[in-house]
Amino acid sequence: MTLKAAIVGTGAVAHLHAQAVIADPRVELVAACDCSAERREAFADRYDVVSRYATITELLAGEQLDVVILCTPPDLHCEQTLAAFAAGVHVICEKPPALSLAELDKMQAAADAAGLALAIVFQQRTGSAAAHVKHLLDSGSLGRPLLAQSQTLWLRLDDYYAADWRGTWDGEGGGTTLGHGIHQMDLLAHLLGDWAEVDARLWRLARDIEMEDVSTATIRFANGVVATAVSSVLSPRETSYVRIDTELATVEVEHLYGHSGHDWHITPARGVSEKQSASWAFPAKDEPSGHGPLLRAVIDALSTGSPLPDLVTHARRPLELVTAIYASATRGRPITHETLDADDRFRLALRAEVQDLRPGH
């Protein structure tokens, strides 16, 4: 059985999804949807998509679909997801999955009620090297993890914020922490598990936007690991970096928007034998991270009727972590699960107080 898919929103990330769909014979891209006729037509022509729609309402009424892939701005995700579930259609949704925990909870509740899949795209979790490292950590082969870092140091200039929805609380829901840093923090949490406490600051140093262009945070994980997380859109040498120091080794990955085996390194501690460190070697067959393996994992589950894999679940954890950063920065104190759950302000929206250090402010 071939699953029929449609892509909603035909901006840059939609091309990655289209290429992943085309590469999988079990799914067919039958429709494209975008409010911009010019963008919609160019996208559909490029990928030989026959059916083309201006709104998701028209799409769902006009097609018999199995799955929609949402590549739209985050302020539309909740409404579009609920519409798809009402039409009996599975959803693959780009990150950030929603503007708030309340919206994400509503989306997941609708999925559960309809018996449909809600898969969230955090593609940094994918790839054979990441799976290998997760196995080493989970098995205890590297000893107890102790210290970690997450750095998302990117550069976004004024042209990036030219779109009317960018740089605003209403359109993006948050700044670089939500829009960019969430990728590396999600990978870190995928490897280390649940967080326990967050102590953070938000800064607006250079960009003329409503939200932060830099954030800094100290994160304590439930397993005792202490981590630092930095997110930025002000960094000329761009990098995405995750480091975990364990009792026996340092694990590192440095890349930009996607990693493969050669981006990962394991450095043994002094005193670790060559035989032991050799047992940590990465698999000879390497699959890079990306939308391809993520889509394949989703299609595997949908085709067999099995539960979604953890590559696309646990979406609440990274959004909780990001929400805790905004809450901590505004409240001026560490945030735990208990204090976050009791704070309806940040459960409903991430709007936070940002220290503005631009000249003249």
Q: Give CA separation, 258 vs 155, 163, 264, in Å.
A: 16, 25, 11
pLDDT at 204 (0 to 100): 98
The answer, yes or no, to whether residue 254 has pLDDT greater than 90, is: yes
Query: In a 3-state reduction of DSSP, which class is residue 271?
Result: coil
Query: Has domain 3-121 been given CATH number 3.40.50.720?
Result: yes
pLDDT-derived band of residue 244, with 50, 70 and 90 as boundaries?
A: very high
Could you tell me where the beta strands, DSSP code E, fall in 125-280?
Answer: 145-155, 195-204, 214-221, 226-232, 234-246, 249-255, 264-268
Q: Name residue, tokens 């560490």.
A: 334
pLDDT digit string (tens) for 25-78? Answer: 999 999 999 999 999 999 999 999 999 999 999 999 999 999 999 999 999 999
Query: Which top CATH class is 128-283+317-356?
Result: alpha beta
Q: How does the average pLDDT of the chain come out, rounded?
A: 96
pLDDT at 360 (0 to 100): 78
* Per-domain boundaries in the chain: 3-121, 128-283+317-356
Region 97-125 average pLDDT? 97
pLDDT digit string (tens) for 274-327? Answer: 999 999 999 999 999 999 999 999 999 999 999 999 999 999 999 999 999 999
* Nearest-angstrom CA–CA distance, 259 and 284: 15
CB 242 within 8 A of CB 149: yes
Region 337-355 average pLDDT? 94
> Which helix H or strand E contains 324, and what residues bound it?
helix 316-331
Same CATH topology for 3-121 and 128-283+317-356: the answer is no
pLDDT-derived band of residue 1, with 50, 70 and 90 as boundaries?
A: confident
